[in-house]
Structure 1
C-alpha cells in the first residue's frame, strides 16, 4: 500500500530512502504503500527488483522499510493470525517480570471475559444477534476500543474518531519520521527474520539461503566495517578514473566513467536504463530510458529554495562532509560541492514533475538507438547500452522506449555545455551517494544530520540488526522470504485470500452495471479485464524449491567479510540479470515485492495483483476475526489493487496488459469528468497549511474509493449468503460500522512536519488522514450507517464517485 521519477517499466513505487522506499523514481506498479526512508538509505535500493522483475506497480502504501526504527517500538495490535501456530519462538526465554506481566494480562483478560459474559447483552441494542466472546474477539475488541476516540463525532472527523486513541498512545519512536500500522507489522517481521538468520545453521539448505546469512553477517560486522573505513570507496573511485574532489582524475575518460558509474554500479546520474515489458507489447521485453539524477526526494526541494532553505543547507553540509571524509581539502571541497549542487539544481529544473507524467500514452515514445542518438547526442548510446547490457550484441536498430523525450534532449544539451570536471565530479558524487551506507560510523553520522533536516528525525536509534535486515531484504529478499514463509506462513490463508478476491471482483463487476456514464461496449470490456486480473498471494512458489532459488541468485558472490564488496557484487549481478532479460519474454509470475513485505501492488503490463505474506496478518486479516474486520482490512486492500486496473493510468492498459485505447470516447469523457471532481476534492485538503496535490494522488484516490466500495458490497454479499455475524463486545458498533472503523484504523499514523511535507511533494498517495476522510466522505453506505446528516464534513452532500 511507499517518489521520484521512473526507472522501471512495470512498477509504480516512489522514491525515498527506507521509511517508505526507493532510489530513482520508478515506473508505475501500484502499491498500497509506505516508503523507504531508512536513515541508512537502503543499500540495494530495489536494483534487483527493478531488473529481475521490471514491472511497474501501483502500491497500497508508500513503500516502507524502516525510517530509523526504534529499538523497542511495539504495536498495540500485535495479533499473530494468518500465520502458522507453533512457529519459532523469537522472544527467547522470558524474565520473571515478563512471566508475571503475562500472568497478570491473562488474568485481566479472563476477568474481562467473565464480565462480558455477564453483561454482554447490554452492549447491543439487538441482543438477539449475540456477542462473539472468543479470545480473539475479546482481544481485537479491546484493541479497537483503545485506538478510538469516543469523544470525537464520527460525522465531523472520522479519522479522529477511529484513530484518536491510537495517536495518543503512539508518539513517534525516537529516530523515526513516521509511525503506523505498517511499521509495527514490519518490525514484527524483522524480529522473526533476525531470529532465523542469527540462529539458523543452514546445513543442507539452499546456497541462496546461506548467501543470505553471509550477507546479513557482513552487514552486522561493524568492527570490520570500521577497520576498512573509507578505503573501499576510495579504491573504487581510483579504479574508475579518479575524482577531482580528492585527487587526480582522467580528463579524457568521461564516457568510460559514465559507463562504469551508471552501467556497472547502477548510480545512473543523468538518466535511468532498465529492461522491462514493453507497455505496448507486454509479451516482449525492451530497453527503457527515463529521467533520473536527483538525490533529494523531489525537484521541489531544489527549485523552491525559500521553503526548503534548511534542507538545501543541510544537503550541502552533508556533501562537503562526505567529500572531506574521502580525502578532500575543505575550501576546495566546499567550492566544488556547491558547483555540484548547482548542476543538480539544473537537472531538477528540466525534470518533469510526476503529476505531469500520469498519461502513459503521451509519455511513451518508441525509437531506435540511432534515433535516440540524434535526439541526445551528448552520449554515445550504442556504446553505452552495449556496455550496460553486455554480453548482448546491439546495433543502431535496437528499439528503445523513452519516457522522458524532452528531458533527454535537454540533459544532452546540459551535458554538452557543462565543464568536464564538473560532469566527472557529479558522476562520482552519485556513486558516493549510493555507497555510503556500507561505510563506517562517520558516514552514518553525516547522514543522520541530513535526515534530521529532511525528515525531522533525531539521531538514528535504529539497532544495527534492523538496518541489516532491511538491506538483506532489498538484496536477497526472495531467499530471505523463503526462510520467512517456511517459519510462519499458513497456506490456508492463501485459499481464503483467493476466495475474498473473487468476492470483491464480483462486487466490482456488479457496480459496473450501475454506472450511467459508461457505454455498454466499454462496460463489457471492463468486465473482461476484471475477470482477466490474476492474483499472486503470499509468495512465489519457486522460493520453496532450493534448486530454483539457487538459480535465481547464481552468479552473485557473497562473503561475510566485506559488506562493501557484497554491495558492489550485487550491483554487478543485477546488471547481468537485467541484460539477461532483454532477449526473453517477460515472466508473468515474477514478483517485485518480497514475501515479508507489508504492502501490496498492481502491475499494469501483467494485469495482476500481488499480496505478499507480510500483509496477510492482523490488523489486515485474521481467520478468527469478524468478517467485517477482514473485509474492512485486507478486503479493502484487495479492492484497492483491483481498482488500480481502472484508475487514470491503469485504465489505459487492456486485459492483456497492453497500452492501447480500448474505451469509447463517450466513456473516456465521463471518466474524465468524474476524476476532475476527485482532483478538486482532494486538492482542498491541507496538512500544516500545505495542500494535497489532487493530480499527483489521483490514481491512489480512485483506488481507495473504488476499493472501499467493492469490499463493502462484497461483505454485504457474504452476509446475505451466510447470515449476520456475532458482534464484538464493548465496542458498541454494528458490524457495518465495524467494517468502516476497521478500514480507518489501518491508516492510523503519526509523522513529523518535515515528513508530512515530504509526503505531500513526493507521495502518490494522499496523507493517511485523508485516505480515511476523503474516501468515507464519498461513501453513501458510510453516511447511512453512521447517520451523518447532510452538510456535515463526512457527508457534504457532494460525492465524487468514479467506480
Structure 2
C-alpha cells in the first residue's frame, strides 16, 4: 500500500558514471593550488559532456549533455543507468563497502558489527547450497502447504487465503493480496492508524501491468518467478513455467484495481475513515476485514480505520470469486519465500555488489549513520545549510512581495509563508535513532543468510504491530533516501541524503556559485517547491493532510497546472508518447525549484557587487577556458544535473513507472518555460526552447 508521502527527486535504477578523484577522502581543498585545480577539473568535465555544435535554442539537453552518453554509456559500463545521482551513489557505495570490509574498525558499534555479519552471510550464501530448498520449504510449512510442491495431494478445501496471508503478515510482515497495516495518520501525524487496502506491487504502477508497451517487463518478471520456483524450490521446469504464468496473470488481475498515477488523486480522495464494521459490510462475505485485522495485528480494534483505494477492494471481490484457490496459494507462498531468496553471483565483484544492495535494503539507516560518523564533512554540511537559508529567504520574499504570485489570495499566501517558515532541512544521518534498542532482539551471524533475514523480518513485523499503541514516528522511505533528496510532506522537512556530503560531485570550495546554485540549489529548491505542488499544498505547516487553500486560489492553481499537463503531455520519448497526466508534482517542482535557485543566485550575485572586493570575487564565477557567462554556467550546470544514459531495455520502464518525465525532457520542459534562460542564450521567440506560451506556477 503506497502510503509513504515522500516526494523524491529521482527514480532509482542503479548504476555509475565517472569515478570520483583518487584519494578523495584526504584531499585538502583549502590551498589555492587545489582550489584552482578543482576549478580546471570542473571546467573540463562540464565541457566534455557538452556538444557545443548543437543549437541551445533548439535542444538545450543536446547542447549541455550531447557527449555524455559517449563518455558514460550505460551499456558499455554494464549498468542500468548513468547520471549525477548514480555517480553520487557510486561514491557512497565505495565508502560503505570499505566500512563493511574493514577489520577492527575503531568507529564501529555492536550494531555495526551485526550489519557486517549480515553482509558476510550474503557473501557466503553458496555454503547454504544443500539446505537452501529445505529451509524455504520449512518457512512455507509454518503456514500450510504450497500446491506447486504438493501436486495432486494438495487439499483445496483446507486452504483459507485470507487467514494464510494474515498469519504471514503477523509473523513476517509480508502482506499479499489484501492488507492491514499501521501507519501515521496523514490527517493527524501525532497518531497512528490502521489502513486496509492494496498490497505493494513489484512492478509499481497500473501501466506496468496493463500497457502493451510494458509487456516485456511482465515477461521478465514471469521468468524471474519461474527461475525461483525451479532453482530454489526444486519445481520441474515445465511446471515452474506454467505456475509463474498463473502467478503473474493473477497479479495483473489484481492490478486492474490500482489507480493510474496520471489520474492525479491525492490522499483525501483515496482514503475514507470508517469503522471496521462499515468496511466489513461493504465486502462481506468475500473479504472478512475484521478477521484480517485481528489476525494480521493480533488484536481487535474499535477505532476508526482508513480504507485505501476503494476501487482495489471492489475489483478484488470479483477477482477472488473467479481465481482458483491453487493459484492464490501459490501466489501467497511465492510472495513469502521471495524475501529469503538471493541468487549467488558467479563473479566475486558482482557478489559484493549484490550483497551490498541487499544490506542497504535492510540496513540503509545503519549504513548512512556509519558513513556519517566516519565521513561527516563540516564544510559540506555548512554549504548545504547556507544554500537552504538563501533559498528559503528568497522564496519568503517572493511570497511576500512578488506580483507574479498575485493569483494566490493574500490569506492563503500568509498560510504559505507560515508553512515555509516552519519548513526545515535535515541531513538524514539518523543520529537520533536508538540502534541499540532496534537490535536488542537480533543476533545476526555471518554463516546463515536465511536465518538472518528471518530474524530481521520477525523483528520488523513485531515493531510494526506495536505501532498501533505507540506515538507516531516520522514516516520512513527506503534506501533511495541515502542519495536522493526528499520532501517528507507529513513532517514538513526536506531530507538531504548523507551522500550529498561527499565533496567534488556537486560542490567544492573552488567551484563557482554559478555552478553550485545550478545543481545543488536547484535540487534543494525542487524539494522546497514540493511543499506547494499539487500534492504538497494539501499538507499544512505541521505536516497534516489539510487543504488550507481558499477556493479562488485553488482554482487558479489548477488552471496553471493544466498548462503543465498539456505541455508535458505533448512530449515524446524514445518513440513513446507521454500521457496527459493530472499529476504534475514533479514538473511543478522542477520548474519552480530551478526558477527559485536562479532568483537566489542573482540575489547573491547582486549582493556581492556592493562589497569592497565583490567585483574581484565575482571573477571566480567563471570557469577557466569556458567562454560562458556566470548566468549561462548556471543553466548549463542545471541541465548537466540531468545528463543521463539509460539501458535501452529500461526506457519504457522509465516512462511508465516513474512520476518524473525522462531527464532530457526535465531539462527541455523546465528551461523552455524560463524567460531568463532564453535571454541568456539569445533564443528567438517561438523557438523550441523559447515558446510563446510558457507554464509558470512559482
**Alignment match of 1:791 (pick from 663, 677, 686):** 686
Q: What secondary structure does 1:276 align onto?
A: strand
Q: Distance in 2 between matches of 1:615 and 1:216?
A: 24
Q: Hey, what does 1:764 align to over in structure 2? A: 659
Q: Distance in 2 between matches of 1:553 and 1:595?
A: 22
**Alignment match of 2:84 (pick from 176, 181, 192):** 181
Contact (CA 8 Å) 2:377, 2:501: kept in 1 or not? no
Contact (CA 8 Å) 2:208, 2:653: kept in 1 or not? no
Q: Distance in 2 between matches of 1:152 and 1:608?
A: 40
Instruction: Please provide the CA RMSD for this pair.
Output: 2.7
Q: Distance in 2 between matches of 1:295 and 1:192?
A: 29
Q: What secondary structure does 2:197 align onto?
A: strand
The TM-score normalised by the length of structure 2 is 0.91
- 1:495 equivalent in alignment to 2:382: yes
Q: What secondary structure does 2:432 align onto?
A: helix
Q: Hey, what does 1:231 align to over in structure 2? A: 134
723-732 or 762-771: bigger deviation: 723-732
- Summarize the Cα distance change of 1:242–1:488 in structure 2 as closer, same or farther, 3 Å threshold: same
1:193 to partner: Cα distance: 1.2
1:789 to partner: Cα distance: 1.1
Alignment of 1:4-403 (within 5 A): 6-7=1-2, 9=3, 11=4, 56-64=5-13, 66=14, 69=15, 75=18, 78=21, 134-172=36-74, 173-202=76-105, 205-247=108-150, 248-249=153-154, 251=156, 252-254=158-160, 255-292=162-199, 294-305=201-212, 307-325=213-231, 326-377=233-284, 378-390=286-298, 393-395=299-301, 397-403=302-308
- Summarize the Cα distance change of 1:576–1:80 in structure 2 as closer, same or farther, 3 Å threshold: farther
- 1:555 equivalent in alignment to 2:441: yes
Q: Deviations over 1:71-110 (max 9, x none)?
A: xx651565988x77589xxxxxxxxxxxxxxxxxxxxxx9
Alignment of 1:380-779 (within 5 A): 380-390=288-298, 393-395=299-301, 397-436=302-341, 438-440=342-344, 463-512=350-399, 513-514=402-403, 515-542=405-432, 548-588=434-474, 592=477, 597-617=482-502, 618-695=504-581, 698-723=584-609, 724-726=618-620, 727-779=622-674
Q: Distance in 2 between matches of 1:745 and 1:379?
A: 51
1:520 to partner: Cα distance: 0.9
Q: Distance in 2 between matches of 1:202 and 1:384?
A: 46
1:530 to partner: Cα distance: 0.9
Q: Distance in 1 between matches of 2:476 and 2:202?
A: 27
Q: Hey, what does 1:34 align to over in structure 2? A: none
1:728 to partner: Cα distance: 0.9
1:471 to partner: Cα distance: 1.5
The TM-score normalised by the length of structure 1 is 0.79
Contact (CA 8 Å) 1:147, 1:164: kept in 2 or not? yes
Contact (CA 8 Å) 1:697, 1:763: kept in 2 or not? no
- Summarize the Cα distance change of 1:427–1:86 in structure 2 as closer, same or farther, 3 Å threshold: farther
- Summarize the Cα distance change of 1:346–1:600 in structure 2 as closer, same or farther, 3 Å threshold: same
Q: Distance in 2 between matches of 1:707 and 1:666?
A: 24
Contact (CA 8 Å) 2:276, 2:290: kept in 1 or not? yes
- Summarize the Cα distance change of 1:594–1:430 in structure 2 as closer, same or farther, 3 Å threshold: closer
Q: Distance in 2 between matches of 1:642 and 1:271?
A: 35
Residue ranges of structure 2 left out of the alignment (5+ in a row): 610-617
Residue ranges of structure 1 left out of the alignment (5+ in a row): 1-5, 12-55, 88-109, 114-131, 445-459
Contact (CA 8 Å) 2:171, 2:462: kept in 1 or not? no
Q: Distance in 1 between matches of 2:627 and 2:281?
A: 69
- Summarize the Cα distance change of 1:772–1:462 in structure 2 as closer, same or farther, 3 Å threshold: farther
Q: Deviations over 1:117-173 (max 9, x none)?
A: xxxxxxxxxxxxxxx971221111111111111111111111111111222211114
Q: Deviations over 1:600-658 (max 9, x none)?
A: 10111111110011123443222331111111111011100010011101101111112
- Summarize the Cα distance change of 1:552–1:85 in structure 2 as closer, same or farther, 3 Å threshold: farther
Contact (CA 8 Å) 1:497, 1:537: kept in 2 or not? no
- Summarize the Cα distance change of 1:296–1:205 in structure 2 as closer, same or farther, 3 Å threshold: closer
Q: Deviations over 1:194-250 (max 9, x none)?
A: 111111325784221111110110111143143434332122123321110011546
Question: Higher helix proportion, which one?
Answer: 2
- Summarize the Cα distance change of 1:725–1:367 in structure 2 as closer, same or farther, 3 Å threshold: farther
Q: Distance in 1 between matches of 2:167 and 2:343?
A: 20
1:765 to partner: Cα distance: 0.6
Contact (CA 8 Å) 1:323, 1:333: kept in 2 or not? yes
Q: How many residues align?
A: 676
Contact (CA 8 Å) 1:261, 1:428: kept in 2 or not? no
Contact (CA 8 Å) 2:17, 2:83: kept in 1 or not? no
1:57 to partner: Cα distance: 0.5
- Summarize the Cα distance change of 1:632–1:309 in structure 2 as closer, same or farther, 3 Å threshold: closer
Contact (CA 8 Å) 2:369, 2:431: kept in 1 or not? no
774-783 or 380-389: bigger deviation: 380-389
**Alignment match of 1:782 (pick from 648, 671, 677):** 677
